[in-house]
Structure 1
Amino acid sequence: MTLAERLPLPSKLGLLAALGSGALLGGAYYFQYVMGLSPCEMCYWQRYPHMVAIIVGLLALASFAWPRLALVFMLTAITALIVTAGIGVFHVGVEYHWWAGPQACSGNVPKGLTPEQLKKYLFGAKMVRCDETAWAMWGISMAGWNAILSGALAFVLASGVASWVRERR
């Protein structure tokens, strides 16, 4: 029996969570550092839950001797993936102008500023906008792909956890 066969399902799923979020985060870094696409503020927001999913996924893997603890880590990873998928959906809505994005990266200048305040605001404004799509494949932006792939990974992990819990009853 190999080591992988001896691992409880929550630990195996932890490895999948870490690898899946690692791949998505790696893709974001590839676009940033290799392709030269600077991330906007909301792009950064989508990265943090992936970092959490990687860490707790690895903790689930390391908790193979305590499957219930691994299960807790897996539930945390699933939650992180749902959060990043939700942020991705929100970001897509900002890109399509369905709703307003954060003031810091949507290009809306606050009303009622004095000339000095306006100058300070404009010179301090970030140049990467959240409401413009920097890259898309098949009409889906990076934020959209993050939402789709993170949601799918969360679904697969949740299905695995559910089947493991059912087997324990």
Structure 2
Amino acid sequence: MRTTLSSRVLVAGAGAGSAATLAGAFAFQYIGGMAPCALCLWQRWPHAAAVLIMVLALLVPNRWLMALGAVAALTTSGIAGFHMGVEYGWWQGLQSCSGGSIAGISMNDLLNPNAAVAAPVRCDEVPWSLFGLSMAGWNMVLSLGLTGVWIMAARRA
């Protein structure tokens, strides 16, 4: 007997996947003490959008909302892929996060040699990896999978 998942179940799963990915990112930040770089933060926004889209699509099932969820997941996957390439030196990153930006540091702290100023978090360093993939790499892979789930949901709607 063949069973197929409904579009509602797929939407819930895709949105829950984005929520879990966000929860993992916040756990690494607040429990693990790993401050995110600018590209890490950019990867979070499409996941947040996907969670919001999930809520809307569960309230008002709509193929276009599900397609928009796929776009959100694909967007974060693209940002993560770019970030992974920067981390592994395949291409240049943004100057603002790979060149040691001083954005957000006050002029007084810059001029005070005794001020405790945290070093900027660089986008071109791999702070954590598992099986050769950085966090950005895992986000790319997981988000591509979530894109597929959103597309399956849209096709079944």
The answer to whether residue 84 in structure 2 is matched with residue 92 in structure 1 is yes
Partner of 2:133: 140
Gaps spanning 5+ residues in structure 1: where?
1-7, 110-118
| Amino acid across the alignment from 2:67 | L
CA apart distance, 1:157 = 2.4
Q: What is the total number of aligned residue pairs between the two structures?
A: 141
Alpha-carbon separation, structure 1, partners of 2:64 and 2:8: 11
1: CA distance between counterparts of 2:56 and 2:9?
11
**Which of 12, 15, 18 is the equivalent residue of 1:15?**
12
Q: Partner letter of residue 95 of structure 2?
A: Q
Contact 2:14/2:149, CA 8 A, preserved across alignment: no
**Residue number in structure 2 paired with 1:83:** 75
Corresponding letter in the other structure for 1:81: A
**Do the aligned residues in 1 keep the contact of 2:37 with 2:122 (CA within 8 Å)?**
yes
Name the residue aligned to 2:104: none
Letter in 2 for 1:13: L
CA distance in 1, matches of 2:9, 2:58: 6
Structure 1 residue 156: Cα displacement? 2.4
1:32-71 equivalences in 2 (<5 Å): 32-63=29-60, 67=61, 70-71=62-63
| C-alpha deviation, 1:108, in angstroms | 6.4
Classify 1:108/1:34 alpha carbon distance in 2 versus 1 (closer, same or farther; 3 Å).
closer
> Secondary structure in 1 aligned to 2:35?
coil
CA deviation after TM superposition for structure 1 residue 160, in Å? 3.5
Q: Which has the higher contact order (CA 8 A, sep 6+)?
A: 2
Distance (Å, rounded) in 2 between the aligned partners of 1:12 and 1:126: 44
Structure 1 ranges of 4+ moved more than 4 A: none
In 2, the alpha carbon distance for the partners of 1:108 and 1:127 equals 6
Q: Percent identity?
A: 44
Larger relative helix fraction: 1
Give the equivalent residue in structure 2 for 1:114: none
Larger gyration radius, structure 1 or structure 2: 1
Using the TM superposition, give the Cα deviation of residue 14 of structure 1 relative to its aligned residue in structure 2, in angstroms.
2.3
Could you tell me which amino acid in structure 2 is paired with residue 76 of structure 1?
Answer: L
TM-score, normalised relative to structure 2: 0.81
8 Å CA contact retained: 1:104, 1:126: no
